[in-house]
Amino acid sequence: MKKGKTYGEAVTRLEEIVASLERGGKGLDETLQLYEEGAVLLKQCQEDLNSAEGKLNELRLEDIEKEITKD
């Protein structure tokens, strides 16, 4: 995740943002700021989910050892 937030940290912050917005009583500027921060975090989380997808490599020990050591 960009800006050094792990998925877990991003989710924790998202929970804070949701709770804070739902509590209400914020100024419009602050509301907008929280909204934008939330939107950025959600996008990052979504990218994180997408980045977990990849191909399945099934390799024999000897093959992968060769592959790694040749570099």
**3-class DSSP assignment, residue 6:** coil
Report the distance separating Cα 25 and Cα 51, nearest Å: 37
Nearer to another protein, 4 or 71 (CB): 71
| Locus of tokens 């912050």 | 13
Is residue 68 a contact residue for another protein (CB under 8 A)? yes
What does the block give as tokens for 58? 């099934």
Rule CB under 8 A: which residues touch another protein? 6-8, 11, 14-15, 17-18, 21-22, 24, 26, 28, 31-32, 34-35, 38-39, 42, 45-46, 48-49, 51-61, 64-65, 67-68, 71
